[in-house]
Structure 1
Amino acid sequence: MTEPFQFNASDVTIEKRETVFQGFFRMDKLWLTHPRFDGDTMPVFTRELFIRGDATCVLPYDPVRDEVVLLEQFRLGALGRSQSPWLLELVAGMNEDGESPEDVARREGQEEAGLSFARLEKICDYLVSPGGTTELIHLFYGAVSTESAGGLFGIEHEHEDIRAHVVNAEHAIAMIRDGRINNAAAIIALQWLELNRSRLRNEAQQ
Structure 2
Amino acid sequence: MDSSSNKGLNNQFTCDDVDVLSKKSLYHGFFNMTKITFRHQLFNGGWSEIIERELFERGHAVALLPYDPIVDKVVLIEQIRVGALESTSPWQYEIVAGMIDKGQSSEQVAIREANEEAGIVVSRLQKISHFYPSSGGCSEQLDVFVGCVDTSTAKGIHGLEDEGEDIRVHVVARKDAYALVTNGRIENAASIIALQWLELNVSGLRTQWNMK
TM-score category (smaller protein): over 0.9
- Number of residue pairs matched by the alignment: 205
Give the Å deviation of 1:182: 1.2
1:114 is aligned, of 119, 128, 143, to: 119
Q: Which residue of 2 aligns with 1:132?
A: 137
Paired AA for residue 104 in structure 2: E
Q: CA deviation at 1:148?
A: 2.7
Match of 1:46 in 2: 52
The amino acid that maps onto 1:78 is: A
The match for 2:12 is: 6
Q: Percent identity?
A: 48
In the TM superposition, residue 111 of structure 1 has moved relative to its aligned partner by 0.6
Picking from 5, 26, 31, the partner of 1:20 is: 26
Q: Give the TM-score normalised by the residue count of structure 2.
A: 0.93
Q: Contact between 2:19 and 2:38, CA under 8 Å: does it hold in 1?
A: yes
Counterpart mapping for 1:78-97 below 5 A: 78-81=84-87, 83-97=88-102
In 2: Cα distance, 1:54 partner to 1:73 partner? 20
What is the Cα deviation at residue 205 of structure 1? 2.6
SS at match of 1:104: helix
Whether 1:145 aligns to 2:147 is: no
C-alpha contact 1:64 1:204 (8 A) present in aligned 2: no
Question: What stretches of structure 1 of length at least 5 have no aligned partner?
Answer: none
- Residue 204 of structure 1 and its aligned partner are, at CA, apart by 3.5
Cα distance in 1 between the residues matched to 2:167 and 2:107: 21
Q: For the aligned residues, what is the CA RMSD?
A: 1.2
The CA distance in 1 between the partners of 2:181 and 2:135, in whole Å, is 23
**Alignment partners' CA distance in 1, 2:10 and 2:201:** 30
Q: Deviations over 1:23-51 (max 9, x none)?
A: 11110001100011111310101000011
Residues of 2 paired with 1:30 and 1:44: CA distance?
10
Show the counterpart of 2:82.
76
2:152 partner SS: coil
**Contact 1:61/1:141 (CA < 8 Å) preserved in 2?**
yes
Equivalent residue letter for 2:117? E
Secondary structure of the corresponding residue to residue 109 of structure 1: helix
Residue of structure 1 aligned with 2:35, choices 11, 29, 40: 29
Instruction: Could you tell me which runs of 5 or more consecutive residues in structure 2 were left unpaired when the two chains were aligned.
Output: 4-8
For 1:198, the equivalent position in structure 2 comes to 203
Kept in 2: contact 1:69–1:150 (CA 8 A): no
What TM-score do the two structures reach when normalised by structure 1? 0.96
The offset of 1:4, in angstroms, is: 4.2
